[in-house]
Structure 1
Amino acid sequence: MLKRENFKMLGKLGVIVLGMFCFGYALVPIYKAICEMTGINVLALGDRQIPGATATLPANTQVDRSRTITVEFDANSRGPWHFKPAQNSVQVHPGELATVMYEFQNVQNRTMSAQAIPSYAPAQAGPHFNKLECFCFSQYTLAPGEKKQWPVAFVIDPKLSRDVKTITLSYTFFEVGGKTPAAPDTSKATGA
């Protein structure tokens, strides 16, 4: 008799579990129908296909197409390796995303760690030159003879003065913790 009651209870619990599953499954279409009728879900309005409307992406209004700035790339290395931009210059509109690659090669017969430091000319361009991705953010280790390419992705702020037509982005690539001697101290020679 106890077994029969246990099976009955198990059957009731099974029906309850099945009913809960079906109810949960049915909630999605019920929710959509209620939101459609009441207009509550205004966030989904953009997902609907409106008859007669064409799907166009809005133009990027942050790009200033009325002017073009030439960005020149310079590479200096302090140590025996090759370091250069893949291209010497690009022309961009302020607010437009641009990416340039820099090429590196360790021509030494030993592993080296190095980092690059950027500088800008004219100096007033520095605060308006926004790098989104840059190899200068990190130190890198290169095996003997290893070649790499790293990107610089940047946007020039449209608030940059209109009289700036050319910006030079210059990198100095130097070994970190290596055998490259320190730069000479010129303050002693000038009497400072």
Structure 2
Amino acid sequence: MSIRAANRKMVGKLAVVAAGMFAFGYALVPIYEHICEALGINILAVGEKQVPGSSRAAANTQVDTSRTITVEFDANVRGPWQFKPEKASIQVHPGQLATVMYEFQNVQDRKMAAQAIPSYAPRNATAHFNKLECFCFNQYVLEPGERKQWPVAFVIDPRLPKDVTTITLSYTFFEVGGKVPAAPTAQAPAEGTGG
């Protein structure tokens, strides 16, 4: 047998092996699904399947449509910023995803780093106000005159006490790094003054 014939035979064997590997890879997905279904694993995939005879997907049962909560938005600044929510308030149902944008602008002629700190009223609503995305999670740098918009995406836990019908989300936006003077504090009387 010549080298040329041996090479052709080897290429033929390699082509058969490559075709077999492709066929095995193609058949692997249905094999995997059958094995998972038979063993009862991969539960998430089972929930994605439509129930026979059902014409629509299941509704989100976590939204409590029997209640409406008013969420008010407040913005405070410590330093040279313009900072405001796009809306003063919205109404949401507990369990419903809501998003509100806040706008920031650095009105100084220098670059500034800042961060926002949230607070809630009433205090017992704090544990039930779940932020999924919030600009308050990070510090930001804004160039002179730069304007940005950032979202707050949240869900109010349906376990919020029934007597709470309004929640105020308040942010204080302040410069990081100490360029803004500290808040005034009570000073002790100077020596030599009566008191």
Fold conserved between structures, TM > 0.5: yes
Cα distance change on mapping 1:119 and 1:188 into 2, 3 Å:
farther
1:83 maps to 2:83: yes
Could you say if the C-alpha distance between residues 33 and 169 of structure 1 is closer, same or farther in structure 2, counting changes exceeding 3 Å? closer
TM-score, normalised to structure 2, is 0.81
Structure 2 letter corresponding to 1:129: F
Please name the residue that 1:160 is paired with.
Answer: 160
Aligned residue in 2 for 1:12: 9
Percent identity between the aligned chains? 62
Q: Is the 8 A contact 2:50 2:57 kept in 1?
A: no
Cα distance change of structure 1 residues 141 and 51 upon mapping to structure 2, 3 Å threshold: closer
Tell me the equivalent position of 2:180: 180
d(CA) in 2 for partners of 1:149 and 1:111? Answer: 17
For structure 1, the 5+ residue unaligned runs are: none
Q: Which amino acid aligns with 2:130?
A: N
Q: RMSD of the TM alignment (CA)? A: 2.8
Find the partner of 2:24 among 23, 27, 36. Answer: 27
How many pairs are equivalent? 183
**Secondary structure, counterpart of 2:154 in structure 1:** strand
Label 1:78 to 1:30 Cα distance change in 2 as closer, same or farther (>3 A).
closer
Matched letter for residue 13 of structure 1: M
Equivalent residue letter for 1:60: N
- Structure-1-length-normalised TM-score: 0.82
Tell me the secondary structure at the aligned position of residue 67 of structure 1: coil
Aligned 1:1-192 pairs, distance under 5 A: 4=2, 6-27=3-24, 40=35, 42=37, 54=55, 56-186=56-186
Q: Distance in 2 between matches of 1:33 and 1:118?
A: 49
Q: What is the letter of the counterpart of residue 62 of structure 1? A: Q
- Structure 2, unaligned stretches of length 5 or more? 190-195
